Amino acid sequence: MKKIFRKIHLYMALFTIPVGIMIALTGALYVLGADQDTGAKINTYTVNQIIPKGEEIEFFKQWTKENNVKMPKPNVSLDKAKINRTVGSAGYTITLKNKENTTEIITLDRSILGDMIMLHKAKGGLLFKIMLVLYGIVLITFYISGLVIAVFKKNVNGKLVPKTESYIVIAAGFIVTIIFAIFSL
């Protein structure tokens, strides 16, 4: 049984190394103060007109061509959930902000770090969200298989029995985590 869990543990670890490193790195950098806009190129333009609702995409197509500004991917649609009108993806957006008789146009081109933090926060596309869910399942499976591998030992009769010191370490981990969480809130 331990042999099967070792193989499961090994192959899942090998497969998820890239996403694990990315999640660990971006999580640590986020805690240390980096965010999705770290290193982003943000430009602001003003046009002396109000862009009517429903005409944003056509305006973006024409305006980006005339002003030599990158247009977001053609398959993206207008985000109508926000007050400002935004078109784009997690990595590159153009936003319209109405101001009296003018419209402010803001382009946001994220850095690679910003893109990775957006993926970490599940702000990217569906495919990477699926990868994050799979990674979460893999982490749970890691802990279960790791427990089977590390916590049990064979006794003289060949049966698996728990190692007492493993339970003490697990209990200490729970206690420290709970105490740190309580004092951090």
pLDDT tens for residues 73-108? Answer: 755 555 655 667 788 888 898 888 888 888 899 999
Confidence (pLDDT) at 80: 58
Tell which wins on pLDDT, 164 or 121: 121
Mean pLDDT, the chain, whole residue set: 85
60 and 38 in contact (C-beta within 8 Å)?
no
Predicted confidence (pLDDT) per residue in 6-32, tens digit: 788 788 888 999 999 999 999 999 999
Other C-beta atoms lying within 10 Å of the C-beta of residue 109: 19
Residue type, 162: P
Confidence (pLDDT) at 151: 74
Confidence (pLDDT) at 136: 93
> CA 108, CA 42: separation in Å to the nearest integer?
5
| Tokens linked to 14 | 């090998």
Helix or strand holding residue 44 (H, E): strand 41-47
**pTM, rounded to two decimals:** 0.74
Confidence (pLDDT) at 120: 93
Percent of the chain with pLDDT over 70: 88
111 and 48 in contact (C-beta within 8 Å)?
no
> What fold, for 41-109?
TATA-Binding Protein (3.30.310)
Predicted confidence (pLDDT) per residue in 27-49, tens digit: 999 999 999 999 999 999 998 88
pLDDT band at 57 (very low <50, low <70, confident <90, very high): confident
Domain positions in the chain are 2-34+115-184, 41-109
